[in-house]
Every structure is written in structure tokens, then in C-alpha cells.
Structure 1
Amino acid sequence: MIIDQRTYTIPTGLLRDFLSLYATQGRAVQIEHLGACHGYYTTEVGELNQVVHLWAYKDMADREARRNALEADPRWLAYRRKACAAGHVIRQSNALLKQVDFDVFTSEA
């Protein structure tokens, strides 16, 4: 399994607007293509005005197929255009996290 960790930095004062637009126009279509979100968070300490969300995939091929389907959906593209026009995201980054298989380290060789 891999986890796609996405972090968006939102302009000060627009976090509520970002979350509202996502909740009403982006979330359902994203879940339709990517499956249930593994976690969706906002920051309280450290760098503020960030949204962090985690998406689980079986492997890289699963991630690529699901994300390609999402990026081809006109509803998702319309949502992204609205979010962009509203200036909701200053910066975004993502990290792909690979699950550790501890059996490799504990099995007798």
C-alpha cells in the first residue's frame, strides 16, 4: 500500500472558503474516483493555514489509474477552476509514503 500525502497552503482568511467549496463541489467527485479519504486535516501548530489529506492506494498503478480518472472528470475540472479563480491555494506539495513491511526485518534468514 502507498499513501499519497497532499498538503495545500491556503491564504490567511480563506481556509473556511476553501473547505466550504471543497465540501460542496469537490469532495464527492474526488471520493467517487479515489475512494474514501484516509484522513483530512487542518494544521493547528507549526505552519498554519494548511490542509493535509491522505489517500490510500494499493500500488502506483492503482494510484495512476484513479488519479487519471479524476483528472478526466469535468466535474472535478470545474471545481478546480473555481478554487483556482478564488485564489484558494498558495502552494501545494505531495509525498508518496510506502508502508514498511516489518516482516522483512523480523523474519529469520
Structure 2
Amino acid sequence: MIVDLRIYTTLPNRLPEFVALYEAKAWPLQLKYLENCLGWYTTVEGELNTVVHMWGYADQGDRERRRAAMAADPAWGDYLREAGERGLLIRMQNRILKPTAFFEARRAGR
């Protein structure tokens, strides 16, 4: 399993607008294509105006297939266009994570 960790930072006071747009237009598509959301959060302390979400995949190939299918959906392009036109984001970060062996062993033992 790998985890796609995404961290998005909005302009000050624009976080609620970004979250509302995402929930209405992107969330249904990501659930349809990506399926395995491990968490979707906003910060309350630390770097503010930040969204963190994580998606689980079997492997990098699984991630690439799912994201390519989503990217091919015209509704995804519509969402990206609208998000860009609103100018809500100032930074987007993406990290691919893999679990350590001891964590995997713990999960397997449950």
C-alpha cells in the first residue's frame, strides 16, 4: 500500500470557500475514481488555511490508473477550471508515502 498525501494552502479567509467548492464538485468524483480516502482535514493550529487529505492505493500503478481515469472525466476538468478561476490556492504539495515494515506487521496482527 502507498499513501498519497496532499497539502493545499489557501489564501487567508478563503478556506471555507475552497472546502465548499471541493465538497460540491471534487469530492464526489474523487470518491468515484480514487475510492480510498484515508482522511480529509483542515488545520486548527500550526499553518492555517491548510487542507490535508490522504488517499490509499495498492501501489503506484493503481494510483496512476485511478488518477488518469479521473483526469479523463470532463467534470474533473470543470472543477479544476473553476478552482483556478477563483484563485483560492497559493500552494499545493504532494507526497507519496509507504508504510514501514513494523507498521505493516502491526496492521497485519490486528
Check whether TM > 0.5. yes
The answer for the alignment partner of 1:93 in structure 2 is 93
CA contact (8 A) 2:36 2:57 kept: no
* Count of matched residue positions in the alignment of Structure 1 and Structure 2: 105
Q: TM-score, normalised by structure 2?
A: 0.90
The residue number in structure 1 matching 2:108 is none
Give the counterpart letter for 1:4 in structure 2.
D
Query: Tell me, what secondary structure is at the counterpart of 1:90?
Result: strand
- Once the two structures are superposed, residues 4-42 of structure 1 have per-residue CA deviations (whole angstroms, 9 ceiling, x without a partner) of 000000000111110111111111011100003110001
Matched residue SS, 2:79: helix
Task: Please give the root-mean-square deviation of Cα atoms over the aligned residues, in Å.
Answer: 1.7
* Stretches (4+) displaced over 6 A: none
- What corresponds to 2:54 in structure 1? 54
Structure number with greater Rg is: 1
Distance 1:50 1:103 in 2: 27
Stretch deviating more after TM superposition (66-75 or 96-105): 96-105
| Alignment partners' CA distance in 1, 2:104 and 2:55 | 25
TM-score of the superposed pair, with normalisation by structure 1: 0.91
Could you list the runs of 5+ residues in structure 1 that have no partner in the other structure?
none
Equivalent-residue separation in structure 2 for 1:38 and 1:103 (angstroms): 16
Is there any run of 5+ residues in structure 2 with no aligned partner, and where?
106-110
Cα pair distance change 1:26/1:102, threshold 3 Å: same
